[in-house]
């Protein structure tokens, strides 16, 4: 979540690309995946725009991808910043930044892994040092649509791009997010009718509060290739900062299940597809790991796939990190590799 990202911000030549070859015969080619991981680092130092590459931010190296591939992950959620790719609203994409994203997608492609491209802007675009809200006069829906039209053009023929996620954790959107999200979706569909699109909800995309803030968040997709995206952390304020301990948070083993239920119920009522695209727990208390251990098989029964937050090269001692330390897997990896994800191709109400 945004507060978590702010708390952690201190951690943190153009290439030519032809049309990629199709994924290999043994690579996944449908709407399913086994396990997902967010590989963070390209969105770090969000107040440094555009920032200095390899100092303020980097894209994850191939070693990161290799590690998660070896642990059975076949999908990567790649956070990046809108302003680094499109330096001015309605402007052309920066060719060097675009090449970095394409290079990462190519690394994934070579390993039969697919990528969700996710602008981590929280419903904002930085103008003169201030984050202006999407849907405002400063960042109109037309600008948001222009960004997504250009993204769709840039990646239309890339089989390694599993989906576009419209916007990471929009918050306090003033009731306009549904209209803005529809504008982004329409822009993608004007170019690409096949790509999966993820639609994150307002107010940090919280699964626990989905019915309060996103009950009418029903978008129109003529391609029927839409997946709704929710996030969920288990600390007392659901921020993912875990400033309070397990006991102080009044946590219990089925807490994750109970927090995600409102989102799952909404999917079931409307016969829609959804994913939990962010969740994470500290590695230093086995009781938090037990929350994940209870949640993942429940998500599988609900046919809701998951993506863990987070891996990536610059986390240091970040307590939620899934990165190995000292040559050993993080404790959370034992739980994540115990269960596969659900299947986003199957609706929540499908009994099969």
pLDDT in the model for residue 13: 27
| Residue 346 clears pLDDT 60, i.e. is over it | no
Predicted confidence (pLDDT) per residue in 49-94, tens digit: 999 999 999 999 999 999 999 999 999 999 999 999 999 999 999 9
* Catalytic site includes residue 169: yes
**Average pLDDT of span 13-19:** 27
Predicted confidence (pLDDT) per residue in 221-251, tens digit: 999 999 999 999 999 999 999 999 999 999 9
CA 235, 238, 240, 243 torsion-angle sign: negative
Mean pLDDT (the chain, rounded): 91
> Binning pLDDT at 50, 70 and 90, where does residue 350 land?
low
| Residue 12 clears pLDDT 70, i.e. is over it | no
Check: CB of residue 292 under 8 Å from CB of residue 320. Answer: no
Task: Give 75's strand partners.
Answer: 36, 114
pLDDT in the model for residue 30: 78
Q: What percent of the chain has pLDDT over 70?
A: 89
The DSSP secondary-structure symbol of 128 reads T
| CA nearest to 294, candidates 235, 319, 286 | 286
CATH class of 2-14+29-336: alpha beta
| Residue 340 clears pLDDT 50, i.e. is over it | yes
Q: Which of 169, 229, 302, 323 is catalytic?
A: 169
Q: Which of 43, 278, 302, 323 is catalytic?
A: 278
DSSP string, 176-244: -HHHHHHHHHHHHHTT-SSSEEEEEPSGGGBSTTHHHHSTT-----TT--EEEEEE---STTSSS---S
Encode 178-199: b = buried (16+ Cβ within 10 Å), e = exposed: bebbbbbbbbbbebbeebbbbb
* Catalytic site includes residue 278: yes
Contacts of 16 (CB under 8 A, 6+ apart): none
* Alpha carbon distance 35, 307 (integer Å): 7
pLDDT in the model for residue 345: 53
pLDDT in the model for residue 24: 53
Check: CB of residue 133 under 8 Å from CB of residue 122. Answer: no
The DSSP secondary-structure symbol of 153 reads H
| Residue 285 clears pLDDT 90, i.e. is over it | yes
pLDDT in the model for residue 27: 76
Check: CB of residue 178 under 8 Å from CB of residue 215. Answer: no
Residues 146, 152, 158: CA angle, nearest 5 degrees:
160
Q: Is 0.85 topped by the overall pTM?
A: yes
pLDDT in the model for residue 21: 38
């Amino acid at each position: 979540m945004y507060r978590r990202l702010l708390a952690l911000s201190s951690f943190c030549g153009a290439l030519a690309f032809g049309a990629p070859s199709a994924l290999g015969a043994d690579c996944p080619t449908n709407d399913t995946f086994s396990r997902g991981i967010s590989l963070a680092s390209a969105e770090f130092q969000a107040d440094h725009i555009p920032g200095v590459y390899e100092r303020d931010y980097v894209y994850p190296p191939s070693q990161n991808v290799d590690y998660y591939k070896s642990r059975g992950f076949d999908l990567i959620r790649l956070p990046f910043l809108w302003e680094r790719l499109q330096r001015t609203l309605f402007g052309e994409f920066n060719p060097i930044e675009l090449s970095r994203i394409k290079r990462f997608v190519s690394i994934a492609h070579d390993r039969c892994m697919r990528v969700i491209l996710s602008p981590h802007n929280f419903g904002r675009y930085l103008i003169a040092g201030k984050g202006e809200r999407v849907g405002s006069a400063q960042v109109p829906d037309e600008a948001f649509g222009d960004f997504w039209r250009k993204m769709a053009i840039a990646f239309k023929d890339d089989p390694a791009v599993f989906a576009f996620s419209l916007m990471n954790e929009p918050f306090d959107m003033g009731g306009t997010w549904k209209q803005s999200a529809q504008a982004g979706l329409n822009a993608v569909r004007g170019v690409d009718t096949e790509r999966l699109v993820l639609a994150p909800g307002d107010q940090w995309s919280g699964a626990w509060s989905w019915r309060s803030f996103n009950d009418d968040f029903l978008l129109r997709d003529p391609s029927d290739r839409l997946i709704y995206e929710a996030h969920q952390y288990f600390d007392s304020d659901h921020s993912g900062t875990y400033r309070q301990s397990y006991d102080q948070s009044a946590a219990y083993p089925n807490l994750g299940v109970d927090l995600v239920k409102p989102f799952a119920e909404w999917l079931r009522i409307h016969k829609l597809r959804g994913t939990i695209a962010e969740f994470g727990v500290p590695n230093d208390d086995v009781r938090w790991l037990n929350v994940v251990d209870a949640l993942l098989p429940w998500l599988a029964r609900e046919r809701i796939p998951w993506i863990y937050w987070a891996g990536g090269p610059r986390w240091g001692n970040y307590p939620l990190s899934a990165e190995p330390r000292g040559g050993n897997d993080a404790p959370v990896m034992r739980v994540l590799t115990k269960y596969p994800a659900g299947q986003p191709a199957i609706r929540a109400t499908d009994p099969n």
